[in-house]
């Protein structure tokens, strides 16, 4: 895989961990409803189920291993290949993570691991490029730690076409101001 020029460094999020714990304790072995994945922004979610206790390294590695079915710029290498857990792990603008595990004795899989990644990534239309390829920290040369950017934008655009809207109509436009704060307020941050 190519190196990333815009991948943000992860930090622990107590709020996302609390959400993950709340969902893990449900023992439903399915994704939580999106409205339960809100911290200050919406969060993505990866799940791992096991019949015996596993290490977090094993859970995260299982998600990352989907890279075997992924080609940067193309997406899945074969029809029906699952890649969404991998792309969430490496999604460039998810910089907060919170995880939890629950024991679920009534379930076929007794251990339910949940990690929430905030802000959410995995946008269907750009899933084949979960980050911009290039020299590590190429988009953040003055905010870099061990090859990862440390300058996240604290605002979130409502629409994926906000950069185009901001360019076309300008940030003085009331609609653009309301729905595209990242495109208007974050000029050097990763967004």
In this structure, what token pair is assigned to residue 179? 């729905």
pLDDT recorded at residue 160: 86
How confident is the model over 28-40, as a mean pLDDT? 78
- Three-class secondary structure of residue 79 per DSSP: coil
Please determine, looking at this structure, whether the domain spanning 153-185 carries the CATH number 1.10.3470: no
Per-residue pLDDT at 37 exceeds 70: no
Q: What is the pLDDT of residues 113-145, one digit of tens each?
A: 999 999 988 888 889 999 999 999 999 999 999
How confident is the model over 156-161, as a mean pLDDT? 90
Lowest mean pLDDT among 35-39, 45-49, 66-70: 35-39
pLDDT band at 35 (very low <50, low <70, confident <90, very high): confident
CA-CA distances (angstroms) from residue 188 to 83, 147, 151, 153?
Answer: 30, 17, 8, 8
Domain limits of the chain? 11-126, 153-185
Per-residue pLDDT at 34 exceeds 80: no
Contact status, residue 57 vs residue 99, Cβ threshold 8 Å: no
- Burial label for 31, CB within 10 Å (0-12, 13-18, 19+), is middle
pLDDT recorded at residue 65: 98
State the average pLDDT for the chain: 94
- Three-class secondary structure of residue 54 per DSSP: coil
Closest CA to 42 of 24, 59, 19, 11: 19
DSSP strands (E only) in the chain: 11-12, 44-50, 70-71, 75-76, 96-103, 111-118, 144-145, 148-149
In the chain, what percentage of residues exceed pLDDT 90?
86
CA-CA distances (angstroms) from residue 9 to 34, 39, 45, 76, 171?
Answer: 24, 18, 18, 25, 28
- Three-class secondary structure of residue 162 per DSSP: helix
Backbone angles phi, psi at 122, to 5 degrees: 60, 40
11-126 and 153-185 share one fold:
no
In this structure, what token pair is assigned to residue 43? 């969060």
DSSP strands (E only) in 56-140: 70-71, 75-76, 96-103, 111-118
CATH architecture of 11-126: 3-Layer(aba) Sandwich (3.40)
pLDDT band at 42 (very low <50, low <70, confident <90, very high): confident
pLDDT recorded at residue 40: 72
pTM value?
A: 0.89
Q: What is the pLDDT of residues 75-116, one digit of tens each?
A: 999 999 999 999 999 999 999 999 999 999 999 999 999 999
In the chain, what percentage of residues exceed pLDDT 70?
98
């Amino acid at each position: 895989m190519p190196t990333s020029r815009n991948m943000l460094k992860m930090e622990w999020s107590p709020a996302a961990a609390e959400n993950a714990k709340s969902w893990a304790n449900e023992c439903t072995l399915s994704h939580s409803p999106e409205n339960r994945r809100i911290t200050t922004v919406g969060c993505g979610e990866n799940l791992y189920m096991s019949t015996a206790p596993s290490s977090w390294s094993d859970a995260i590695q299982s998600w990352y291993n989907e890279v075997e079915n992924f080609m940067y710029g193309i997406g899945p290498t074969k029809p029906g290949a699952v890649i969404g857990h991998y792309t969430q792990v490496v999604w460039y603008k998810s910089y907060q993570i919170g995880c939890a595990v629950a024991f679920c004795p009534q379930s076929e899989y007794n251990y339910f691991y949940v990690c929430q990644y905030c802000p959410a990534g995995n946008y269907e239309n750009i899933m084949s490029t979960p980050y911009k390829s290039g020299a590590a920290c190429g988009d953040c040369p003055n905010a870099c730690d061990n090859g990862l950017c440390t300058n996240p934008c604290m605002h979130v655009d409502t629409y994926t076409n906000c950069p185009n809207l901001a360019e076309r109509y300008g940030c003085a436009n009331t609609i653009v101001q309301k729905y595209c704060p990242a495109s208007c307020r974050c000029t050097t941050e990763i967004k």
